[in-house]
A = this chain, B = another copy of it.
Amino acid sequence: MTQSKVDPRILRTRKLIMDAFIELSEKKEFKDITVKDITAEAMINRATFYYHFEDIYDLLDKSLSEVLLVNLNCDTYQNSELNEEVLISVFKVITNFQRSLSNRCHRGYEDTIARIIREQLEFIFYKMLLKQRPADDEQALKLTAVMLSWGIYGASVEWRRKGDEVQPETFIKSAVPYIISGIDSNSKING
């Protein structure tokens, strides 16, 4: 999966940069953070930053992806079934993640964040579907993953719009059965 031979300096430096970015994000808004701030906090040269990232938006992208991936604990999900329990669990992770982000004041970058969340969801949903139904058409599974990711993300937006009145778990539970029945029991498609 991941390259086994990657220079430790690269891993260390990426970690230093990302940690510095997370640290700064808790103090300032994203728009007020400069590359210089980050490299100073990370104790690395500014040129080194550009060796690893295109620009600060690329860093935002990759940092959030990684944090989310860790939260989603990808290995766990990839080895379990895409059932009601998992969908509820994923929804809870997403709502938690967005709550932690809003504390860190990334206003104005909702689109980027939304894209990152959807991409990650799509990625793990697709992996799970592939394992669950290896015989099915890949394009169909891919599209299913896309729709599920948009659906889950949309639900989280709706949940926030309602002002966090109910628990994420109870909120998503009302809709999940409709989704699951399409995935779980209606298995005669392409079968």
Residues facing B in A7-42 (CB within 8 A) are 8, 11-12, 15
Question: How many residues does chain A have at the interface if contact means C-beta atoms less than 8 Å apart?
Answer: 7
Asked if A181 is at the interface (CB within 8 A of a chain B CB), the reply is: no
CB neighbours (8 Å) of A45 from chain B are 8
Asked if A147 is at the interface (CB within 8 A of a chain B CB), the reply is: no
Q: Number of copies of this chain in the oligomer?
A: 2
Closest to A39 in B: B8
CB neighbours (8 Å) of A12 from chain B are 43-44
Q: A15 touches which one: B8, B15, B43 (CB < 8 A)?
A: B43
A45 to B12, CA, bound (A): 11
CB neighbours (8 Å) of A11 from chain B are 43
A155 shortest CB reach to chain B, Å: 39
Closest to A43 in B: B12
Closest to A16 in B: B12
Residues facing B in A43-88 (CB within 8 A) are 43-45
A147 to B96, CA, bound (A): 60
A28 shortest CB reach to chain B, Å: 23
Listed by A's residue number, 7 A-B pairs whose Cβ atoms lie within 8 Å are A8-B43, A8-B44, A8-B45, A11-B43, A12-B43, A12-B44, A15-B43
Instruction: Give 7 closest A-B pairs by Cβ, nearest first.
Output: A12-B43, A8-B43, A8-B45, A11-B43, A15-B43, A12-B44, A8-B44
